Structure 1
Amino acid sequence: MKKWLKRVGILLLGLTILMVVAISVILILDKKNTSYLKIGKTTDSYVIKNVNVVPMTRDTVLYKQDILVEKGLISKIAPNLVTDSMVQIDGSGKYLVPGLADLHVHVWDDYELGLYLAKGVTTVRNMWGMPFHLRMKKRVVNNEIFAPLFFTASPKITGPEDHGIDKKQVADANEGRGLVGKYKEQGYDYIKTYAGLPKDIFDAIKEEAIRQDISIAAHPSFEVPYSYHFSRPIKTIEHTEDVIQQALKFKNDSVLLTKTIESYVQGKMGHTPTLTVFHKISEIMEKETDLFKEPTLGYINPAFLEVGSQDDFNRWTSTKSYDSLVEERIMNQHKQHLKIVKQMNDAGVILVAGTDSGISYAIPGFGIHEELGYYVEAGLTNYEALRTATVNPSKIYLSLSNTGTLEVGKMANMVLTNENPLIHLKTLANPEKVFIKGYLLDADKLLQFKEKAYKRNNYLATLVRMGEGLWLQ
């Protein structure tokens, strides 16, 4: 018997070693395949000559300006700067805009970091944190790879009755407090609260977050009134759909909506609409299997495309099969989202653009341009829409105060376009050049980032990272 147990033990040890080796090889190969993102010999000091500047400090264009960038920061903006000794970049006839921020994304791999940059996104806020995101953040902060400024929320904290492997169920207030301290110590930038948090646990989490000096990004909890979320240290409330579902209880109550919007303004609370991901429901039901022919689906992480995206597809196509009115209801709700976003903007709510890219069929990098397009469809001007992805995030987070506008002293996160985005907003989707922390990414580099991300083969590496996250959350 002892001899048999010893053999079983040796066998299990051998299998464990083989598994560890296999996982290591998978991750090493994946890292090698994204080595094109490494920051090599480049410069973060130069002058951009004769460029039209869209500063986003107000609705205007400063024509034919020179911008001096030194060590990644904007040091001068003026016509005809004398900088003979500097590297010069010709901006004649082009428009320079602050880099875009997408403040609600789900990042699955390094390829997506390059893809965001290729579409002019220079800041992302990852909203479902896992250990690999902390390692990713470290490499970005240490300037090891080209990537947007990268911030990550913690794992999704919810209550004991809100089941799902993607969520961290919390049994009681003490556990909630402990998780806040744990996630702050591990290096997460925000606490992500979720839909099933009861008041006693939520109270404990908020109190501990204030003590730990870490803010909360709240997916509204259905266990408390919507108005509960207008309190410290919550800084943003996610999803316009939850204004309808949680605050209004699906009722067309204009008085309650006005009161909710006033609470946003009074609390200086940010709101992240994520209209893009909700509209994907309509696209699923409208296109059905034709959706799979869309070439842009090749930019979605292959593991998530098979698991998460497919689940979304199955859910809504099956719902349509027995509920003939669901497609109309979803489209009507989308139209209601547009009206709410317009009303929020007019009232002075701090709208921060977020897409939920990386979830369902919302595509990293591409999503922000859909999102801004919906804001314009809602009735915002191009300037107002662009503020949601530039200036407004810097009003919410001190860590972004050095971004969002083109001014002396600000970080040189910028997008160079062929047309004036205040007139042609869609020009931002195809940048001529992108600057991140002052580093120049030309058209060839941006194209490489897109090509490398397209139909990438990192299925197993993604599953390994996701498995680690679910295990250790």
Structure 2
Amino acid sequence: MVVKKWLRRIGTVMGGLILLVAIAIVLILWLDSRHTSYLRIRDTNNSFVLTNVNIVPMTADTVLYGQRILVKNGEIMEIAPTIDGGPYKRIDGKGRFVTPGLADMHVHIWDDYELGLYLSKGVTTVRNMWGMPFHLRMKERISNNDIYAPLFFTASPKLTGPDDGGIDKKQVKDAQDARSLVVRYKEQGYDYIKTYAGLPQAIFDAIKDEATAQHITLASHPSFEVPYDYHFSKPIKSLEHTEDIVQQVLDFKQDSILLQSTIDAYVLNKMAHTPTLTVFHKIVEIIKKDSLLLKQHGIGYMNPAFLEFGAKDDYNRWTSTKLYEPEVGNRIKKQHQHHLQIVKQMNDAGVTLIAGTDSGISYAIPGFGIHEELGFYIDAGLSNYEALRTATVNPSKVYKELAETGTLENGKLANMILVKDNPLENLETLETPEAVFIKGHPLDTKTLTQFQTKAFRRGNYWSTLVRLGEGLLFQ
């Protein structure tokens, strides 16, 4: 009887603690949603005539001067020098330049603040590359036009092999497990299946077969358990990370023959490539700047929980490495230069490059990263037009779900950036948009500045941990 009495008391205490934790979690998430209420769409009018603008349509390396754009319900209906527009409101472009919104095709999003941050820097499409349940809820709110946000597509949790450990990965036991996970993630609403570095061929084959049957594509971080050219097959449409070409294909060597054969395989198999040069270059910055990096203004735009549990690991790794390998900085710089050479060679060969930054991890800053990435393509030797294609036209050619984006033409979504100068002559002008239009909703400079201000040094540490915990438990 005494034992039963104590068991009941323990059960009551445990139940009370669980209830308190549940209440705390609900309160934390509710407060976080209140703090990001500035993103809610209150004015649903997305029809207008944009007058007095010069259009960079990205259908060709050209500018259409002195144009108007008629937008109805978020869709471009007409582009012409003179448009009446009837009852629709007029927005004066003041002789500025209009380009398609930018796409960052490799990001890691941790909260709503980052959605506004991306918009503030002209990014109107993102592909999230590590999916969790909260991303599905985020996707639903965006699809329902509840909040201002870029077009949002998300990969599933990261599928890797049974011997590739790590709390951020979903280890797949065997082929049967692989097939069931693909079905489950498709039913849950993920847009892509994310495959990771530790997948052995038998499991990878099962993932590809089931994904094909389910009509869902793969977003692939190359697996080191199979040859690199194994990835040149359906339903994979793009391969991530130029650094993995250097590491896996070239074994860190300058092998021009092997590199050319790999690039030829990209072209032959119509495989796109996402370089993610920005996140790799953060290693250079960590080594060079050390503790000064942590004091830079831009770090304030990073999610505080990820700074503590993710970026800090990168910082500790590379600052400690240079203590026993003094030349590591030069080694990493040389590899970055090698990446630039590869990107240039791929572009010249006709490989479809799609811009992606890996922003949200390490010290790659959401929204800001895309402009670093495009700058690296310029460093590599691409023209402004070629670089801009990687973040506009090219993604729309690779992924059918982006077919209504990437250019300014009749029938396309009115995802646009208004900037001061011609980006074909001055690409840096894209860093400071004077207005951004997302599905036809105009966001002026004041609103874009607010989106940045709200995201700076945000206090959502605990709400992020709650969402991450859910993701790790239910991946």
TM-score by length of 2: 0.99
Alignment partner for residue 372 of structure 2, among 350, 370, 373?
370
- Tell me which residue corresponds to 1:182: 184
- Tell me which residue corresponds to 1:250: 252
Superposition map of 1:119-138 within 5 A: 119-138=121-140
- Tell me which residue corresponds to 2:107: 105
Which digits, 9 at most, give the CA deviation of each residue in 1:5-34, with x for residues without a partner?
000000000000000000000000000000
In the TM superposition, residue 458 of structure 1 has moved relative to its aligned partner by 0.2
- Tell me which residue corresponds to 2:151: 149
Which digits, 9 at most, give the CA deviation of each residue in 1:310-355, with x for residues without a partner?
1110000011111112111110000000000000000110100000
Q: Which AA in structure 2 matches 1:309? A: A
Query: What SS does the aligned partner of 2:253 have?
Result: coil
- Alignment gaps of 5+ in structure 2: none
In the TM superposition, residue 153 of structure 1 has moved relative to its aligned partner by 0.2
- Tell me which residue corresponds to 2:405: 403
- Tell me which residue corresponds to 1:424: 426
Contact 1:103 1:352 in 2 (8 A): yes
Give the Cα–Cα distance (whole angstroms) in 2 for the partners of residues 83 and 364 of structure 1: 36
Contact 1:274 1:371 in 2 (8 A): yes
Q: Which AA in structure 2 matches 1:341? A: V
In the TM superposition, residue 250 of structure 1 has moved relative to its aligned partner by 1.4
- Tell me which residue corresponds to 1:76: 78
Give the Cα–Cα distance (whole angstroms) in 2 for the partners of residues 272 and 258 of structure 1: 17
Q: Which AA in structure 2 matches 1:153? A: A
Alignment partner for residue 468 of structure 2, among 453, 466, 469?
466
In the TM superposition, residue 84 of structure 1 has moved relative to its aligned partner by 4.4
- Tell me which residue corresponds to 1:227: 229
Give the Cα–Cα distance (whole angstroms) in 2 for the partners of residues 50 and 119 of structure 1: 22
Query: What SS does the aligned partner of 2:145 have?
Result: coil
Alignment partner for residue 302 of structure 1, among 285, 301, 304?
304
Give the Cα–Cα distance (whole angstroms) in 1 for the partners of residues 33 and 9 of structure 2: 36
Superposition map of 1:190-339 within 5 A: 190-339=192-341
- Tell me which residue corresponds to 1:360: 362
Query: What SS does the aligned partner of 1:13 have?
Result: helix
Q: Which AA in structure 1 matches 2:267? A: V
In the TM superposition, residue 362 of structure 1 has moved relative to its aligned partner by 0.1
Contact 1:43 1:440 in 2 (8 A): no
Give the Cα–Cα distance (whole angstroms) in 2 for the partners of residues 83 and 468 of structure 1: 49
Which moves more between the two structures, 37-46 or 414-423?
A: 37-46
Query: What SS does the aligned partner of 2:103 have?
Result: strand
Q: Which AA in structure 2 matches 1:107? A: I
Which digits, 9 at most, give the CA deviation of each residue in 1:167-216, with x for residues without a partner?
01111111111110010010000000000000000000000000010000
In the TM superposition, residue 83 of structure 1 has moved relative to its aligned partner by 2.3
Give the Cα–Cα distance (whole angstroms) in 1 for the partners of residues 94 and 290 of structure 2: 45
- Tell me which residue corresponds to 1:380: 382
Task: Establish whether residue 436 from structure 1 lines up as the match of residue 438 from structure 2.
Answer: yes
Which digits, 9 at most, give the CA deviation of each residue in 1:120-163, with x for residues without a partner?
00000000000000000000000000000000000000001111
Alignment partner for residue 7 of structure 2, among 5, 8, 12?
5
- Tell me which residue corresponds to 1:49: 51
Contact 1:48 1:88 in 2 (8 A): yes
Which moves more between the two structures, 316-325 or 142-151?
A: 316-325
Q: Which AA in structure 1 matches 2:469? A: G
Q: Which AA in structure 2 matches 1:155? A: P
Aligned residues with identical type, % of pairs = 66
Which digits, 9 at most, give the CA deviation of each residue in 1:360-389, with x for residues without a partner?
000000000000000000000000000000
In the TM superposition, residue 291 of structure 1 has moved relative to its aligned partner by 0.7
Give the Cα–Cα distance (whole angstroms) in 2 for the partners of residues 438 and 41 of structure 1: 11
Give the Cα–Cα distance (whole angstroms) in 2 for the partners of residues 275 and 394 of structure 1: 21
Query: What SS does the aligned partner of 2:70 have?
Result: strand
Contact 1:99 1:390 in 2 (8 A): yes
Give the Cα–Cα distance (whole angstroms) in 1 for the partners of residues 187 and 321 of structure 2: 43
Query: What SS does the aligned partner of 1:350 have?
Result: coil
Query: What SS does the aligned partner of 2:270 have?
Result: coil
Which digits, 9 at most, give the CA deviation of each residue in 1:271-321, with x for residues without a partner?
000000000000000000011110110000000011101111000001111
Give the Cα–Cα distance (whole angstroms) in 1 for the partners of residues 471 and 451 of structure 2: 26
- Alignment gaps of 5+ in structure 1: none
Give the Cα–Cα distance (whole angstroms) in 2 for the partners of residues 52 and 182 of structure 1: 47
Q: Which AA in structure 2 matches 1:145? A: I
Give the Cα–Cα distance (whole angstroms) in 2 for the partners of residues 157 and 126 of structure 1: 15
Q: Which AA in structure 1 matches 2:55? A: V
- Tell me which residue corresponds to 2:343: 341
In the TM superposition, residue 91 of structure 1 has moved relative to its aligned partner by 1.2
Contact 1:341 1:378 in 2 (8 A): yes
Query: What SS does the aligned partner of 2:62 have?
Result: coil
Alignment partner for residue 89 of structure 1, among 91, 104, 120?
91
Which digits, 9 at most, give the CA deviation of each residue in 1:48-77, with x for residues without a partner?
112000000000000000100001000000
Alignment partner for residue 32 of structure 2, among 12, 30, 38?
30
Q: Which AA in structure 2 matches 1:48? A: L
Alignment partner for residue 171 of structure 2, among 169, 172, 192?
169
Give the Cα–Cα distance (whole angstroms) in 1 for the partners of residues 383 and 372 of structure 2: 15
In the TM superposition, residue 92 of structure 1 has moved relative to its aligned partner by 2.6
Q: CA RMSD in A?
A: 0.6
Q: Which AA in structure 2 matches 1:400? A: L
Give the Cα–Cα distance (whole angstroms) in 2 for the partners of residues 452 and 107 of structure 1: 16
Q: Which AA in structure 2 matches 1:253? A: D
Query: What SS does the aligned partner of 1:361 have?
Result: coil
Contact 1:64 1:92 in 2 (8 A): no
Query: What SS does the aligned partner of 2:77 have?
Result: strand
Alignment partner for residue 450 of structure 1, among 452, 459, 462?
452
Segments of 4+ moved more than 2 angstroms:
none
Contact 1:184 1:214 in 2 (8 A): yes
Give the Cα–Cα distance (whole angstroms) in 2 for the partners of residues 91 and 442 of structure 1: 11
- Tell me which residue corresponds to 2:414: 412
In the TM superposition, residue 268 of structure 1 has moved relative to its aligned partner by 1.1
